[in-house]
């Protein structure tokens, strides 16, 4: 029998502090655990009556684990300490340090202004990390949630750029994901790195400047068509790649009439 979120939360096991339509969360002392839902735990929407299937549920947790490790090794941006990440019985577990503090959303306007100044420095440090390849440290390409909602396709791939075009982005930088010491106003940790990775700099919107989700609200500019812009970039780079490969193959055939043309140079072109 499929269950609703309300029914499942009424049956939480020990140390489980919350269950959403995509995750289970546990806390035991100084340890925090996030895990994906197993298929048998997928929930029925109370309003639509349909089963919610999490998009890239396991991949996002794997990407967050890889990101926490990457940032510890390559930056001083405050993040929770990663203890381990593993898969068991169709679920991915992320075990990390629990961060004491309050979210940026719980502060006054003046206090948030102080936190914003420190956060700006951390963002600068993130954007100083650059790559020629789109996607996260895990090797997975997981676009921001606001972009994923505009497409049913998950096959985001891109030929590497000739330059380090992509900067490291959090991609879900709302006030809820900035944990602060309420006394000193120092940022204790930036959390929830599931969508993080190397992307065009314009992916990193300053949603932390107001309360609410990491998506456009009210009269804000809706940039959720990011997927369209990136797919156009993919197509453009693939056209150049295919033309180059065709010319190279033609030259090879012309110089060696007895040889068969090789298609290996274009075998990895992603389906668009």
- Strands 102-103 and 166-169, by their bridges, are unpaired
What are the residue boundaries of the structural domains of the chain, listed by start?
A: 18-39+50-227
Tell me what pLDDT residue 271 has.
24
Cβ–Cβ < 8 Å for 119, 78 = no
Residue with tokens 């668009």: 272
Kindly tell me the sign of the dihedral angle through the C-alpha atoms of 123, 168, 170, 62. Answer: negative
Please report, rounded to a whole number, the percentage of residues in the chain having pLDDT higher than 90: 48
Tell me what pLDDT residue 162 has.
59
- 44 has pLDDT over 70: yes
Cβ–Cβ < 8 Å for 252, 259 = yes
In this prediction, residues 141-152 reach a mean pLDDT of: 70
Class of domain 18-39+50-227: mainly alpha
Distance CA 127, CA 79 (A): 16
Helices (H) and strands (E) in the chain, counts: 5, 11
Cβ–Cβ < 8 Å for 251, 259 = no
User: Which of 91, 82, 76 shows the shortest CA–CA distance to 35?
Assistant: 91
- 209 has pLDDT over 90: no
Distance CA 95, CA 12 (A): 18
Tell me the pLDDT tens digit for each residue of 56-89. Answer: 889 999 999 999 999 999 999 999 999 999 999 9
Tell me the pLDDT tens digit for each residue of 23-41. Answer: 999 999 999 999 999 988 8
In this prediction, residues 99-117 reach a mean pLDDT of: 96
Distance CA 19, CA 7 (A): 10
Stretch (H or E) spanning 34:
strand 31-36
């Amino acid at each position: 029998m499929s269950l609703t979120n309300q029914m499942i939360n009424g049956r939480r096991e020990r140390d489980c502090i919350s269950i959403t339509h995509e995750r289970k969360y546990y806390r035991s002392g100084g340890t925090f655990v996030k895990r994906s839902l197993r298929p048998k735990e997928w929930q029925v929407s109370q309003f639509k009556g349909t089963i919610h299937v999490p998009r890239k549920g396991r991949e996002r947790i794997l990407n967050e684990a890889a990101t926490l490790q990457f940032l510890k090794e390559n930056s001083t941006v405050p993040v929770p300490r990663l203890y381990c990440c593993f898969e068991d019985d169709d679920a991915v577990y992320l075990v990390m340090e629990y961060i004491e503090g309050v979210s940026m959303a719980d502060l006054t306007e003046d206090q948030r202004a102080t936190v914003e100044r420190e956060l700006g420095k951390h963002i600068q440090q993130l954007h100083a990390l650059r790559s020629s390849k789109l996607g996260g440290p895990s090797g997975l390409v997981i676009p921001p949630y606001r972009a994923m909602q505009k497409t049913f396709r998950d096959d985001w791939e891109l030929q590497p750029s000739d330059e380090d075009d992509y900067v490291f982005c959090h991609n879900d930088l709302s006030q809820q994901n900035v944990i602060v010491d309420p006394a000193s106003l120092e940022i204790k940790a930036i959390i929830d790195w599931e969508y993080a990775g190397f992307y065009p700099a314009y992916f990193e919107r300053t949603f932390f400047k107001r309360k609410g989700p990491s998506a456009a609200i009210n009269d804000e500019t809706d940039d959720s068509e990011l997927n369209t812009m990136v797919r156009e970039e993919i197509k453009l780079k693939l056209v150049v790649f295919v033309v180059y490969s065709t010319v190279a193959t033609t030259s090879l055939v012309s110089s060696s009439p007895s040889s068969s043309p090789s298609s290996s140079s274009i075998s990895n072109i992603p389906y668009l």
